[in-house]
């Protein structure tokens, strides 16, 4: 503390201070940047990660949209007790489209109302490292509430400055410090307009043992973690802040049971979207509009006496097959719009298909049999000669998606990298999937999944449904592990590097290490360890964290975390007890030392490059327990940066408070920077 800040003690003597509490508040940190870094930005309704987000087709789902509107605006009036609405329906009935439509409609009313009625959104998604678990849930809500409620923002910023380790605390503590206490600091809360918080896909919050990609700080099963999120929402609404909560999910038994308990029933409006809407009418509105649009793009080559395509009879037949299922109708429309096919013939194939060859009595509780039949028809439309290759590529795509690689690269880029990693000719994967564009996202537009709907993955991984097209993800995993190791062991300085391919190679080559992997023989484990020792890991790390030789940004590194940093950290942890590798103990020890020396070398190179950057601070924070901080090269590099690139040096210090949460281990790095 400088003397300018202790003027109250000037000339004081013979006094004592009892129970002194000192709160250190740093005024020069970028609080918004810290919040943004810890938030799940892809979970927000307008994120690029979700583009293009599903929307209700004009004229559809009018009942539920109307009820949500009446309920929300009714909350603006005193005495309206039900601050929560739960909308539930089976998969494929438009819950996310409803949530997105509500969010966009509210955002458009900003100017009209004079305030932003949309407080915050969180769209859970099981295939996302950040959106499939609740770790960032509270922080993401706080970040958005600070933007949508300007008077709340300074109090949230003050909370972050006061509680620097809040990002490593439990969600309950985060809720209290980042949202509840800032709201309590406001005056005239009763005069503040009500804001809507939208939580979609609660059933997609899984955080299970199988979820390896995210930052798993909790070990609960999906039932417990979903109920925990519900309890957080209930706790927040109990303070009677001017907030309403719209929750959308499947009617999972544990969610339904919890919402029907006494504490919830009095404050919750429940809507069954499946029963509420006239799905047959909505599908008809959609189908007629879309077929008319497609017809308008076709050449008018009508034969004599032929009616205008598609004709009423075909429309009626398609509506009967759709049976009120919007997802079925949307997949059909996408299928017949195949740029390589004839819409007339493709629609006729759909309408005339005989489904008698499909496995009988395979119907799930939501009666998806019609949709499954459509998936099978699209798959069987592919030539038999390409089917084995198609299944192989689809299995690789499941592995890519499960490891979060689509958050670094587009689907098209991922397929290009898969071709190279699997030693196929360029474009082979894309050609193999040509007939499946109705089921897949394979273009160069960012997407969090290859598959247009989760039901497609469920179908393809269920042998009783997919039959000869059943995907066995495990069968391709071992091959991709060794392909990844082969590629990264070939990467050397002076050779041009494709960063996306390098990231994919690192994730598969290093992200699958486990001594208990029963699919690996001892010879295969020995081969893996020997290949690891031949890899120039330092070059791979620096190459992955650089963009064409340019310094790396915090945002770039953050999105590469699941594919590179975490891969190496997971591998390193597997070597911390080399005795567990039985007959391969010495190789495991060498592997651990190789990773330690490679990370220290990477740190030296990044510091020497002058990589600016919160990004470098994040790298240091992630690897601080592995880096040899007594290495004279690191000390010299820090000293050089402090003298020649003071701004970059200070940026590293600031970023450590963002990425490292200033744990005890973090302080040793921070103090080193201060020396």
Predicted confidence (pLDDT) per residue in 454-467, tens digit: 778 889 999 999 99
CB 282, CB 53: distance < 8 Å: no
Predicted confidence (pLDDT) per residue in 424-479, tens digit: 999 999 999 988 877 888 888 888 889 877 778 889 999 999 999 999 877 788 88
- DSSP class of residue 323 equals T
Residues above pLDDT 70, as percent of the chain = 77
pLDDT at residue 29, rounded to an integer: 67
With CA atoms as reference, report the closest residue to 552 among 614, 638, 624, 598.
614
pLDDT at residue 554, rounded to an integer: 41
Superfamily of domain 32-277: P-loop containing nucleotide triphosphate hydrolases (3.40.50.300)
pLDDT at residue 598, rounded to an integer: 87
Higher-pLDDT residue of 400, 565:
400
Q: Parallel, antiparallel, or unpaired: how do β-strands 243-249 and 118-123 relate?
A: unpaired
Confidence of residue 380 (pLDDT cuts 50, 70, 90): confident
pLDDT at residue 568, rounded to an integer: 76
pLDDT at 121 over 70: yes
* Mean pLDDT value across residues 1-30: 49
Cα–Cα dist 205/583, whole Å:
40
> Please, which residues have CB within 8 angstroms of residue 535's CB and are 6 or more apart in sequence?
485, 488, 489, 491, 509
pLDDT at 344 over 70: yes
Q: Is the preceding peptide bond at 52 cis, omega within 30 degrees of 0?
A: yes
Helices (H) and strands (E) in the chain, counts: 33, 5
Strands in 180-314 per DSSP E = 195-200, 243-249, 268-272
* Mean pLDDT value across residues 627-631: 73
pLDDT at residue 77, rounded to an integer: 58
Mean pLDDT of the chain: 80
Q: Give the pTM.
A: 0.63
Per-residue b/e over 111-137, b at no fewer than 16 CB within 10 Å? Answer: eeeebbbbbbbbbbbbbbbbbbbbbbb
pLDDT at 669 over 90: no
Q: What is the 3-state secondary structure (H, E, C) of 124-180?
A: CCCCCCCCCCHHHHHHHHHHHHHHHCHHHHHHHHHHHHHCCCHHHCCHHHHHHHHHH
Residue the block writes with tokens 């008809």? 284
Compute, in degrees rounded to 10, the torsion defined by CA atoms 361, 203, 447, 214: -120
pLDDT at residue 21, rounded to an integer: 47
pLDDT at 119 over 90: yes
pLDDT at 213 over 80: no
According to DSSP H, which parts of 307-356 are helical? 312-322, 326-336, 343-352
Residue the block writes with tokens 């391969």? 584
pLDDT at residue 559, rounded to an integer: 43
Predicted confidence (pLDDT) per residue in 132-180, tens digit: 889 999 999 999 999 999 999 999 999 999 888 899 899 999 999 999 9
pLDDT at 604 over 70: yes
Confidence of residue 670 (pLDDT cuts 50, 70, 90): low
The residue extents of the domains of the chain are: 32-277, 280-295+312-358+366-469, 494-674
pLDDT at residue 663, rounded to an integer: 46
Strand-pair partners of 547: 550
pLDDT at 3 over 80: no
pLDDT at residue 648, rounded to an integer: 73
Higher-pLDDT residue of 29, 92:
92
């Amino acid at each position: 503390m400088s003397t300018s800040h202790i003027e109250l003690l000037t000339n004081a003597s013979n006094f004592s201070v009892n129970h002194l509490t000192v709160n250190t508040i740093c005024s020069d940190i970028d609080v918004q940047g810290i919040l943004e870094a810890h938030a799940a930005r892809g979970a927000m309704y307008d994120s690029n990660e979700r583009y293009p987000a599903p929307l209700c087709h004009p004229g559809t789902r009018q009942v539920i949209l109307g009820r949500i509107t009446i309920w929300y605006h009714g909350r603006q009036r005193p005495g309206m007790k039900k601050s929560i609405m739960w909308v539930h329906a089976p998969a494929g009935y438009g819950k996310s489209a409803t949530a997105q439509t509500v969010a966009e409609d509210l955002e458009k009313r900003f100017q009209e109302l004079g305030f932003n009625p949309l407080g915050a959104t969180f769209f859970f998604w099981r295939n996302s490292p950040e959106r499939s678990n609740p770790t960032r849930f509270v922080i993401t809500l706080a970040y958005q509430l600070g933007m949508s409620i300007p008077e709340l923002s300074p109090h949230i910023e003050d909370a972050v400055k006061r509680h620097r380790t809040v990002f490593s605390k439990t969600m309950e503590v985060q809720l209290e410090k980042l949202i509840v206490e800032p709201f309590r600091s406001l005056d005239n809360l009763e005069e503040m307009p009500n804001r809507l918080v939208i939580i979609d896909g609660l059933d997609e919050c899984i955080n299970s043992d199988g979820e390896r990609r995210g930052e798993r700080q909790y070990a609960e099963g999906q039932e417990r973690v979903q109920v925990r999120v519900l309890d957080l929402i209930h706790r927040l609404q109990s303070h009677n802040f001017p907030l309403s909560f719209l929750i959308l999910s499947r009617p999972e038994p544990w969610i339904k049971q919890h919402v029907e308990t006494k504490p919830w029933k009095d404050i919750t409006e429940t809507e069954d979207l499946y029963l509420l809407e006239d799905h047959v009418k909505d599908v008809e509105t959609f189908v007629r509009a879309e077929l008319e649009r497609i017809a308008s793009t076709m050449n008018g080559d009508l034969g004599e006496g032929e009616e205008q395509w598609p004709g009423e009879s075909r429309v009626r037949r398609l509506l009967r097959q759709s049976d009120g299922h919007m997802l079925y109708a949307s997949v059909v429309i996408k299928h017949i719009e195949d740029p390589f096919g004839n819409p007339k013939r493709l629609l006729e194939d759909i309408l005339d298909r005989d489904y008698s060859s499909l496995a009988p009595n395979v119907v799930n509780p939501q009666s998806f049999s019609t949709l499954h039949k459509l998936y099978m028809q699209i798959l069987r439309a592919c030539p038999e000669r390409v089917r084995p290759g198609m299944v192989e590529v689809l299995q690789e795509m499941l592995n890519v998606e499960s490891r979060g690689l689509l958050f670094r690269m587009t689907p098209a880029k991922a397929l290009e990298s898969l071709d190279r990693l699997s030693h196929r000719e360029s474009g082979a994967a894309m050609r193999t999937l040509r007939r499946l564009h109705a089921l897949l996202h394979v273009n160069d537009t960012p997407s969090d999944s290859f598959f247009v709907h989760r039901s497609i993955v469920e179908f393809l991984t269920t042998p009783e449904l997919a039959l000869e097209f059943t995907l066995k993800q495990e069968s391709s995993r071992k091959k991709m592990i060794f392909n990844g190791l082969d590629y990264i062991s070939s990467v050397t300085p002076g050779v041009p590097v494709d960063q996306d391919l390098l990231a994919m190679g690192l994730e598969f080559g290093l992200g699958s290490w486990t001594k208990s992997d029963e699919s690996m023989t001892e010879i295969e484990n020995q081969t893996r360890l020997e290949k690891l020792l031949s890899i120039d890991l330092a070059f791979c790390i620096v190459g992955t964290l650089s963009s064409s030789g340019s310094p790396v940004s915090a945002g770039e590194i953050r999105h590469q975390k699941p594919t590179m940093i975490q891969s190496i950290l997971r591998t390193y942890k597997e070597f911390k007890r080399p005795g567990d590798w039985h007959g391969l103990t010495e190789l495991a020890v060498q592997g651990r030392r190789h990773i330690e020396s490679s990370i220290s070398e990477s740190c030296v190179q990044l510091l020497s490059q002058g990589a600016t950057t919160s990004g470098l601070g994040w790298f240091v924070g992630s690897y601080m327990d592995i880096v040899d901080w007594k290495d004279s090269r690191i000390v010299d590099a820090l000293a050089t940066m402090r003298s020649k690139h003071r701004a970059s040096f200070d940026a590293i210090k600031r970023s450590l408070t963002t990425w490292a949460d200033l744990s005890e281990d973090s302080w040793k790095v921070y103090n080193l920077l201060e020396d």
